[in-house]
A and B are shown apart, each in its own frame.
Chain A
């Protein structure tokens, strides 16, 4: 029986690099108001770390780490978090108003709601991209008979 995934060298290296990629993605998300990047770019990088797992080990191993229903719930939670932050601004004045305390400039916790919005966007984008990839990887096309005639 053919083993799923790629060769042994790829599997060894993947075990090291998956956590590094994840950490890098989290750094880009959290510093979204100081350096370029933010929610969307960080979300893509974190989704890539899970896709790295799927490519190297096959989809059963990756799905044991993060099942499909968990991905769907994380995605909806990300959207609801952003919606809730926007509603919070509504109660204090205008929709999407920047209500949380703004600290010193260039600090990690300055600029109010932007860091929470980045986290919400990263949850939604990361989970969304991973579920798109899994949906395409699961699809099995039935083999066409007598392929030589095509």
Chain B
């Protein structure tokens, strides 16, 4: 039953243009129905996994001749992330989309984005992963340019050119691997690479994959598109981009290729650790001087993804658990922050922090959820961000990486400082002009924000059963490394 994650949004995306010709509002209904069904199925997949790893052969052809879809621990974690944030962003869009003039196109593109994201996560074949990655990328380029103002078009063009070059490099790496082992199934490639004789080719492919996926995940030498593209998109799309897309087509694809196909060596470990450390510091230092709300949040995304890559690069079981837990938490609180900024922009029309003020009286729901998310990203107990950062710092000390641990602590303090700045300027102080006509955001936007804030608090309070049931199986599949091949092909 694995293709259901791709069938549902694909049907939705093709039905919406026909249905919207008769009644415009039904496009919203179809899109939200698709997202709700996907969320139900991804919660159900936690229980499917209890009976073992599932492999589904598309078209009845057995691998390695055919394409297969795989459901293991890491897939379940990513499915939860993708569908939860997708559903919340669509509920938020019910109120937000009134500012734009073509809702039918927005919902079609959003459903195509969900097709691509779900397809990347469940694919078991390397070229299939590339095709779904391209579907995701093209849908996100079009959605970033959705408002067609001058700033948004320029940001979309920059994102488009850089993203296409990255996809071209990934395709070149896949081509080189195909020429070497003559198969595209991920388990089969990892089995054949054990008998290969040319280490230089694998190193070259690894370098190309690092460049390509590194640009999609916005690590520091390749992050130049992110501060322009994420603020320019409509707010629910910014939440999807920063909370889901860079994790799925960046972090998930990178760690699947590096851990399960090529194998994790100490050289790759130190590369990840240094890239993570540089991303953390550069991101947060560039963020603290920003006065645009969404641009500040975009730079913080660069910094927090640096945490994830640093933790996964440590290679120890505790490090990988910390990294994956921080990935899940970051998607929760960063999406919540972007949705908050969207609500503020919807009500006041202003994004600059020094022109806002005193919103905590007039927009209570928005300011309280923003407070929860800011405390969570800064790492204040007992919210979810504190536990994942604590696990990462403990793992860094255990692996004798003192520099990394100290950088983590310092970056955490600077993150706290910059979010205190956000809270003070946007919500706490007295308003400069009399903007007394500001109302609270519409009900659908409040619902999405409240659900995400409740989840932040709940995951923080009950993190031990959460980590045991969802994060530990995900870390186990990564730690198995190239033994993944025996499980998939043995079935």
A binds B: yes
Q: Closest residue to B7 on the A side, CB-wise?
A: A87
Cβ of A27 within 8 Å of any chain B Cβ, yes or no, is no
Cβ of B23 within 8 Å of any chain A Cβ, yes or no, is no
Cβ of A66 within 8 Å of any chain B Cβ, yes or no, is no
Q: Closest residue to B67 on the A side, CB-wise?
A: A96
Q: Closest residue to B14 on the A side, CB-wise?
A: A79
Is B21 a contact partner of A86 (Cβ separation < 8 A)? no
Task: Given A73-B21, A83-B7, verify A94-B57 contact (CB < 8 Å).
Answer: yes
Q: Closest residue to B59 on the A side, CB-wise?
A: A96
Interface size class on chain A is: 10 to 19
> Count of A-B contacts with CB under 8 A?
44
Is B18 a contact partner of A94 (Cβ separation < 8 A)? no
Q: Closest residue to A92 on the B side, CB-wise?
A: B60
Task: Given A69-B21, A86-B7, verify A94-B59 contact (CB < 8 Å).
Answer: yes
Q: Closest residue to A78 on the B side, CB-wise?
A: B14
Chain B's interface: helix, strand, loop or mixed, by majority?
helix
Count of B residues near A, CB < 8 Å? 15
CB of B18, distance to nearest CB on chain A (Å): 5
Q: Closest residue to A94 on the B side, CB-wise?
A: B60
List which B44-69 residues lie within 8 A (CB) of chain A: 56-60
Cβ of B17 within 8 Å of any chain A Cβ, yes or no, is yes
Q: Which residues of B contact A36 (CB under 8 A)?
A: none
Cβ of B381 within 8 Å of any chain A Cβ, yes or no, is no
Q: Which residues of B contact A94 (CB under 8 A)?
A: 56-60
List which A70-115 residues lie within 8 A (CB) of chain B: 72-73, 75-77, 79-80, 83, 86-87, 89-90, 93-98
Task: Given A83-B11, A90-B3, verify A97-B59 contact (CB < 8 Å).
Answer: yes
Q: Which residues of B contact A86 (CB under 8 A)?
A: 7
- In angstroms, Cα B1 to Cα A93, docked, is 11
Q: Closest residue to B17 on the A side, CB-wise?
A: A76
Cβ of B451 within 8 Å of any chain A Cβ, yes or no, is no
Cβ of B285 within 8 Å of any chain A Cβ, yes or no, is no
Where the two chains meet, the residues of A that have a C-beta atom closer than 8 Å to any C-beta of B are 69, 72-73, 75-77, 79-80, 83, 86-87, 89-90, 93-98
